[in-house]
Amino acid sequence: MLALGSHMSTSGGGPPRALERAAELGLESCQLFTKSERQWAAKPLTDEQITAFHRGLTADTRLNRRVVAHDSYLINMASPDDDLRAKSQAALLVELQRCDTLEIPYLVSHPGAHVGSGPEAGIARIIESVNQVLAARPDGTTMLLLETTAGQGTTLGKTFEEIAEMIDGIEDKARVGVCFDTCHTFVAGYDIRTPETYAETMRQFDEIVGLDQIRVFHLNDAKFGLGSNKDRHEHIGEGEIGLEGFRNLMTDPRMTGRMGVLETEKDTTGDLDRKNLATLRSLSA
């Protein structure tokens, strides 16, 4: 079974608060932002925050260091705008540095959008950008995870072939992997709703990219249908993927132990996360 968790807020204390909230829910994995996801600027981590975060990583034996960060939504490594791309590279480097400092093993990143310049040119820019960023931090330990995308607009990463092409061009392959988002992959046209379609989708991924590249799953049902390219998350079992689609994933022994984090709508009590997690656990039986 996947190590189940959710994206946790850092409000009211920074990254350590996310771990505290994860512990309150008894999570086995946790995703967080190490800085504001909608701003370029990054407020420096304090010594107190770093110490508290490290303490939380070792103290929570249920979580067992299974933590992943997500980078800023502003980053676009595929942009044809040289200034924006340079700004994105600098921001990604800061994100990786913060993850290294906090000892977070993975950083999820949306590959980017080509903004009308074409997929080939956009993918080439992503490869160049990642290579430059990783080369600037040769001793970095955090792995960059390229996220499968829904295919809205000119976003790249909607096909397994695009993800494979990016990884193929990245020089330091030991520091790159994949975050498989169930909603994004489904609305991009890959069906997982029946045992047969799930098996075919995973066969394709394994053949084109490699199942071993998947380090984290984003567990989201989809508000819109197969191939719609509309990125709108829904609670588990209440969207177009449905319970059986998630049962296929939860009972796949090849995925045992990998992180599976919710990015579904939350409430202030944590009850919506508890509901979605209980649903997922029931499907693994």
CB 78 within 8 A of CB 126: yes
Active site residue 196: no
Active site residue 231: yes
For 67-102, give one letter per residue: b (16+ CB within 10 A) or e.
Answer: bbbbbbeebbbbbbeeeebebbbebbbbbbbbbbbb
Q: Kindly name the residue from 147, 165, 240, 273 that is annotated as catalytic.
A: 147
Active site residue 184: yes
Active site residue 70: yes
Active site residue 263: yes
Q: Kindly name the residue from 125, 218, 247, 258 that is annotated as catalytic.
A: 218
- DSSP, residue by residue, 171-228: S-GGGEEEEEEHHHHHHTT---SSHHHHHHHHHHHHHHT-GGGEEEEEE-EESS-TT-
Active site residue 120: no
Active site residue 165: no
Q: Kindly name the residue from 37, 55, 73, 120 that is annotated as catalytic.
A: 73
Q: Kindly name the residue from 60, 165, 181, 273 that is annotated as catalytic.
A: 181
CB 237 within 8 A of CB 183: no
Active site residue 235: no
Q: Kindly name the residue from 85, 110, 125, 258 that is annotated as catalytic.
A: 110
Nearest Cα to 119, choosing from 147, 169, 78?
78
Q: Kindly name the residue from 7, 98, 184, 258 that is annotated as catalytic.
A: 184
Active site residue 267: no
Q: Kindly name the residue from 7, 70, 125, 215 that is annotated as catalytic.
A: 70
Q: Kindly name the residue from 231, 240, 247, 273 that is annotated as catalytic.
A: 231
Active site residue 218: yes
The residues assigned a catalytic role are 38, 70, 73, 110, 147, 181, 184, 218, 231, 233, 263
